[in-house]
Amino acid sequence: MNVTIQVALAGGLFAVFAFIHFFVDWIFQSHAEAMVKHNDRKIRAKHCLIYTLGFVPILYILGFSFWEFVISLSLLFLSHFYLDTYHGVFLWAKHIRKPPEMTEPWKEVFSRVDGSTEITVHPPDAIRGFGEFVKTPLGKILMITLDQISHLIFLWPIVYVAMCHLLK
């Protein structure tokens, strides 16, 4: 099989895997789960199990062997479990994007009993700043974009396994 056909086949498989990713990741997750999964291992594990099971039919159709199933499903579950903590997005924001919310001092305003106000300036706090950054429209867009790119990257090893299986 020539390289052009191999690239087309790999791209087609990736497109199918990406569709399954978006369908299962977004359709089978409640809003409540989406809002707490990054901090709750049980909810994240349940979500990742449902996500992983969504790939079983296509892997079966492709004729994956037992070990190809185990490797692919493990990669899907474990990568999704980590990525849904948003730790990778946090590291990207902290070290590459560097939004001002994460890198500049922040102010806290207090009201005194006499009606006057006091401002306390705190040093930069990347964790607090990340929470502030992702509340902004740009922060939300970038967080979702980086998160989805990360998820899609982990589909490529499964495309590779599928290509090796199909080209035997």
**Over the stretch 127-155, which tens digit does the pLDDT of each residue have?**
999 999 999 999 999 999 999 999 999 99
First to last CA, the chain: 11
The string of pLDDT tens digits covering residues 6-60 is 999 999 999 999 999 999 999 999 999 999 999 999 999 999 999 999 999 999 9
Among 84, 77, 93, CA closest to 35: 84
Domain count, the chain: 1
Euclidean distance between CA atoms 51 and 106, whole angstroms: 38
CB of 48 within 8 A of CB of 81? yes
Q: What is the pTM of this model?
A: 0.88
Q: In which domain, by residue range, is 71 found?
A: 3-166
Give the HSE-up count for residue 22: Cα atoms under 13 Å, Cβ half-sphere: 9
Q: Is residue 155 a contact partner of residue 20, using CB atoms and an 8 Å limit?
A: no
Q: Is 18 left (phi over 0), alpha (psi -120 to 50) or beta?
A: alpha
In whole numbers, what is the pLDDT of the chain averaged over residues? 94
Residue 94 has which token pair?
């902290």
